[in-house]
Amino acid sequence: MMNENYLKSELYSSIKNDEQIFDFIQDNCLDGLWYWDLEKPENEWMNPRFWQILGYNPNDMPHSPSAWQHIINKNDLEVAIDNFQKHLADENHPYDQIVRYRHKEGYTIWIRCKGKAMRDQKGKPVRMLGVHNDITDFKNKEIRYKSLIESTNVGTWEWNVQSGQIVFNERWANIVGYTLAELEPISIETWKKLAYPDDLEESRRRLKECFEKKTDYYDFETRMRHKDGQWIWVSERGKILEWTEDSKPLMMYGTHQDINERRKKEEELIISEEAFRGNFENAAIGMALLNPNGKWLKINKKLSDIIGYSEEELLNLTFQDITYHEDLDKDLSLLQELVQDKRSHYQLEKRYYHKLVHIIHILLAVSMVKNKDGNVLYFISQIIDISTLKKIENEIKSLLTITNEQNERLRNFAHIVSHNLRSHSGGISGILELLKVKYPDIANNEMVLLATKGATNLLQTVNDLTEVVQVNLNEAKVFSINLSDVIQKNIESLNMEIKL
């Protein structure tokens, strides 16, 4: 404290005795300094910096309030005059406001104007000392920031952390189903009453972290009660733009955005992903995700069992590495058609090399997932091991080959038997005819008639047997029997035995 008092006293003394020190302070710490004679209000001194900020030559400007009153915003002037009157009446009322001046070139200069009345022994204000700080850059950024926010149709809020005063825009209220008028009077309690109770503590924790670590940014997704009684999700983001002299947060500005639909979709996506993950991991068939280059991204246990590789081993390979070389071109061709949207999926039988080198047969089905730009994110493969079915199929083919060979031999046998029996039947019939010619008297002989009939029946039997063979070999579509003829032939064949 001794050093502070010593240095302070020394500085005050130096200012009194050396005008250069005062000039240095006003030129480097302030953007304007003014001193007003309240007893002669037409006299007001403005330092050169004040006019330079506004684009004027200080040497051309008179030291009078009339020199600047026509370039100050009229509404701001009314506020300044009101604060001035209140400050003169009560020295505890601060003369502190932000006003707009019109620069000589026509654009706006934002000035923070602060002042203090100097009073005589009776407390009567006799002079007014004031300072200006150019905050144009800050205000322009603030205006751009607010314009940008308004164009995005999000709610905005401004919060004086020290006083608790808070300001919402109309959109902020609309997001939770209200008009701003319905929420008045507006205070920090307005937000607390609408906030989801379980989220309040987390919000306080994040704000505290923001204040203590001076990270400036606050970002939190919370639930708020809509006017219709439903809880909706909103995103709250804020930034501390002003700090107090003792490094405490002063002014905080932020946004309030409706993210309820997004959160619903995220929750639905999580449920969908969990369902897919469960189906993927527990599927009875092999399943895999592959990147656009054919590299394995993820496989389930069933696929690992089919091809013999662990997931870690397979992630270092591509599907091309384990595909049987003769099947690769067909697979790649179909995959290219899939990428080009010529088909939505494809299916084919192909062969893989098992980790133990032997070949396995699989049935492969492939589809794909693209992003919003139409680029392939990954392929989804479903793989069924059909090696056993292929083995059975080959065995059936082998049996069919043997059966066809046997049928061919049977057909040949039938032809031989048919040919031989036809020859014998024809020979018997020929001999009988010769006997009839040489011995006409025996033509009606009962034994000759029976022999002739027997030869004819033998020929018919050969024809019938040939038809039976053809049916068995699928060479005849229709096979009919005249039962009456069959019975009659059998009677005739047995006629001699019957007579005996």
Give 148-172 pLDDT, tens digit per residue. Answer: 766 677 898 989 988 888 999 899 9
299 and 318 Cβ atoms separated by less than 8 Å: no
Q: Is 3 a residue whose pLDDT tops 70?
A: no
Residue-level pLDDT at 492:
62
pLDDT in tens, 14-28: 767 777 777 777 666
Comparing CA positions, the residue from 327, 307, 326 lying closest to residue 317 is 307
Extract the tokens encoding 207: 């704000």
The DSSP 8-state label assigned to residue 72 in this structure reads B
252 and 166 Cβ atoms separated by less than 8 Å: no
Q: Is 486 a residue whose pLDDT tops 70?
A: no
Residue-level pLDDT at 65:
92
pLDDT in tens, 431-455: 777 777 777 777 777 777 777 777 7
| Burial group, residue 136, by CB count within 10 angstroms (0-12, 13-18, 19+) | middle
Residue-level pLDDT at 436:
73
In the predicted model, what is the mean pLDDT of residues 330-342? 93
Q: How far apart are CA 1 and CA 113, in angstroms?
A: 32
Q: How far apart are CA 276 and CA 173, in angstroms?
A: 39
Note the residue count of the chain: 500
Q: Is 89 a residue whose pLDDT tops 90?
A: yes
Extract the tokens encoding 499: 């007579």
Q: Is 420 a residue whose pLDDT tops 60?
A: yes
Average pLDDT of every residue of the chain: 84
| CB contact set of 333 (below 8 Å; sequence gap of 6+) | none
**Cis before 185? omega within 30:** yes
Helices (H), 252-324: 260-282, 301-307, 311-314, 319-322
Q: Is 470 a residue whose pLDDT tops 70?
A: no
Coil, strand or helix at 61: coil
Query: Hey, which residues does 225 pair with through a beta bridge?
Result: 231
Q: Is 479 a residue whose pLDDT tops 70?
A: no
In the predicted model, what is the mean pLDDT of residues 357-368? 93
Extract the tokens encoding 222: 């919370």
Greater pLDDT, 276 or 135: 135
Q: How far apart are CA 32 and CA 49, in angstroms?
A: 5
Task: Determine which of 3-17, 60-74, 171-185 has the lowest per-residue pLDDT on average.
Answer: 3-17
In the predicted model, what is the mean pLDDT of residues 281-309? 90
Helix or strand holding residue 499 (H, E):
helix 495-499
Query: Hey, which residues does 366 pair with through a beta bridge?
Result: 346, 381
Residue-level pLDDT at 476:
46
Extract the tokens encoding 143: 């205006």
Extract the tokens encoding 305: 């069992």
Q: How far apart are CA 495 and CA 172, in angstroms?
A: 117
Q: Where residue 279 falls among pLDDT bands split at 50, 70, 90?
A: confident
| CB contact set of 457 (below 8 Å; sequence gap of 6+) | 489, 492, 493
pLDDT in tens, 131-152: 999 999 988 887 887 777 666 7
Q: How far apart are CA 34 and CA 63, in angstroms?
A: 9
